[in-house]
Chains A and B, each alone.
Chain A
């Protein structure tokens, strides 16, 4: 969170989480588990929905239960709450989307250590009401999803010539193998951070 007074309105939380303190390009949080799945749009979408669900529900739960557990053990309680929801996501994926579950591999479990979820629980849900915390979870997750989907869009397009599995590139298109490999995710993330920050500096200058 920035040092400005915490935005406690529904709209304030929305713009804050989608743009001003977007978890990825302003705070560089939670990229661990997610970059690995950004080579296909479908995987990224499923993964992001999982993250949104977990952030939303864990924020809600932490906010409701926050007065029940002592401050000293709050970290471990938060981790357990998050792990509980991740297990639900894992079981649901395994039951209904076994192929995608297979493709995501360990990264579903790694939602637990996604810093965004822990960060939102600690920074927002600890000091706000349940419904607003839930909304904060949804919007943080959505800001995260936006960046990841952008990366995945370019990676899938350039690496396989497809979008959501449908071929969109002309027949003569040569797949760009590097785009399917890890370095491209770092490059795209770097570029997105660059563009995002540059626009933000412009806005600040215009405002000043």
Chain B
């Protein structure tokens, strides 16, 4: 078990920009396309994803290295990961409900959506495949969440502008144009790749 030799700062930076979970790995697209119509909801969902992503990446790492690998139950990991994610979302929902009613109203509707957000499960699986250590996992989870948040905020701001233009052909309106916008954003983020590349 040798965690790859990546500095924490580079890992953090890479997970936000060069290997952005959404633009480079295509994870979390479903809710991304659906929610990015509205900036306020995008912000709420981005925050929720960041929180859940950080917590579940850490919890899944602990379970993976202290339960599944010692017991040789690695083939059960998909089921275990998804259960952990569902449970974490549920617990978080209850905690937020108790602690801050205001936050609960903002985040409430987004939390259930997160269970089926591919980004969450994707990060846990990347962590397993790339053999990250615990601190690296925390940093990677948090960075990926932030990257997702930045991407959805940027996209929803762009969509707000493009929706006002009348010149877009009917067939391209909506999801088609969104896809092409995401493509352009992905190109912009690839520009960061000259700075560092972490795969």
Contacts and interface: CB of A to CB of B under 8 A. Distances in A.
A28 interface: yes
A162 interface: no
A35 interface: yes
Nearest to A94: B75
Nearest to B28: A32
Contact of A113 (B117, B128, B180): B117
Contacts of B129: 105-106
Contacts of A33: 26-27, 118, 122
Contact of B79 (A80, A184, A189): A80
B180 A86 contact: no
Interface of B is mostly: helix
Interface residues of A, number: 48
A194 B171 contact: yes
A146 to B, nearest CB: 17
Interface stretch (B6-14, B97-105, B138-146, B183-191): B183-191
Given A83-B78, A83-B79, A197-B176, A109 B28 contact: no
B24 interface: yes
Contact of B126 (A35, A106, A193, A194): A106
Contacts of B26: 31-36, 182, 185
A87 B81 CA distance: 12
B30 interface: yes
Contacts of A193: 171-172, 175-176, 179
B116 interface: yes
Contacts of B186: 181-183, 186
Contact of B118 (A76, A113, A183): A113
B79 A182 contact: no
B63 interface: no
A105 B121 CA distance: 13
27 contacts: A28-B34, A31-B30, A32-B26, A32-B29, A32-B119, A33-B27, A34-B26, A36-B25, A76-B83, A76-B86, A86-B78, A91-B75, A105-B125, A109-B81, A110-B118, A110-B122, A113-B82, A113-B120, A113-B121, A113-B122, A184-B183, A186-B180, A187-B180, A195-B171, A197-B171, A197-B172, A198-B171
